[in-house]
Structure 1
Amino acid sequence: MPDTRPSARELIAAHGGRVTRARVAVLEVLGSAHTPLSHEGIASALEEGGETFDRVTLYRTLEWLVEQGIATRIAGSERAWNFELVDRHGHHHAHFHCQRCGRVTCMEEVAPALAGALPPGFSLAQAELVLHGACAECNRS
């Protein structure tokens, strides 16, 4: 099935934003990530791709993406945020944060279960549930 997502440039322009090198690069990193990324993880991925931005530029870029509803913030460890793109159907899933290694894993099946548990007439607009514990890999070691 072909990827029908708009390009980073198209997405930024569709939200009325200035198409900057930082916004395009961060969107591309988030779009290719399979799990939510920390500020540090995003900066590392940018450096691997030959892009470097100062911390303030990166924070402002991430804040703009969150304000526009393009990305979402997930609580991580030590008051650090992790970021991921909002999917086409809205952000309706929970996350598991491993307190040992810091990895954040998407839990797609939790939000539908929560929505099904709502009282009659209620509807779920957004799920922001973060479960904390140890991942399978850390439990094995």
Structure 2
Amino acid sequence: MMLTHATPVETAAEAETAVLLIRRTGARATPARVRVLQLLRSAPAALTHHQIEQALGDLAIDRVTLYRVLDWLVESGIAHRTTDAQRTFRYSLAAVGEHAAHTHFRCENCGRVFCLDAAPPVPPSLPEGFCLSRIELDLCGRCAECAGERR
């Protein structure tokens, strides 16, 4: 997957947006977090760790730091981590306002995630003492574009 490069003005504005998103969580906006978040914001589909490393190019950060940044983005609700058909983690940007309020469709072919205008089901009754933190409902298949390729 090839990502295009933005102009310096676009890059500065995108960096500022990334900084604000990170700071809203109460965390520090480190250069690594900002770079990875900028990349996820511009990606047309969910990216693997390797694709992120490759896309960062000259701005690359070490592998362990990248894993930590991705884990933090997911734990903070800024990004989503999904597993594709090959059991590879893919990372994508979460919409502002959190994704828990609706259902997703994940394309098993291209890895893109689509937000559907459908509420998740009502959660089942939980045993006493259990505390629900979120509901995730993913529908999987092929998006219209990928399904059209196979016709």
- TM score, norm. by length of structure 2: 0.65
Structural mapping, 1:44-123, within 5 Å: 44-47=54-57, 50-91=58-99, 92-98=102-108, 101-109=109-117, 111-112=118-119, 114-115=120-121, 118=122
Q: Does 1:26 align with 2:36?
A: yes
Amino acid corresponding to residue 21 of structure 1 in structure 2: P
Q: Could you tell me how far apart the structure 2 residues matched to 1:60 and 1:77 are?
A: 23
In structure 2, runs of 5+ residues without a counterpart are 1-12, 124-132
In structure 1, runs of 5+ residues without a counterpart are 120-124
Moved over 4 A (4+): 134-139
- TM score, norm. by length of structure 1: 0.69
Find the partner of 1:16 among 16, 23, 26.
26
Aligned residue pair count: 124
Instruction: State the 1:127 CA deviation.
Output: 4.9
Secondary structure of the 1:7 match is helix
Contact 2:32 2:61 survives alignment (8 Å): yes
Structural mapping, 1:122-137, within 5 Å: 126-136=134-144
Q: Could you tell me how far apart the structure 2 residues matched to 1:103 and 1:69 are?
A: 19
CA RMSD of aligned residues (A): 2.8
Instruction: State the 1:77 CA deviation.
Output: 2.8
* Offset from partner CA, 1:104-139 (integer Å, 9 cap, x none): 331423x33x45xx49xxxxx855233344455555
Q: Could you tell me how far apart the structure 1 residues matched to 2:141 and 2:46 are?
A: 17
- Taking a change above 3 Å as real, the CA distance of residues 45 and 104 of structure 1, as seen in their structure-2 partners, is same
Amino acid corresponding to residue 63 of structure 1 in structure 2: D
* Offset from partner CA, 1:11-36 (integer Å, 9 cap, x none): 22232222221100001011112322
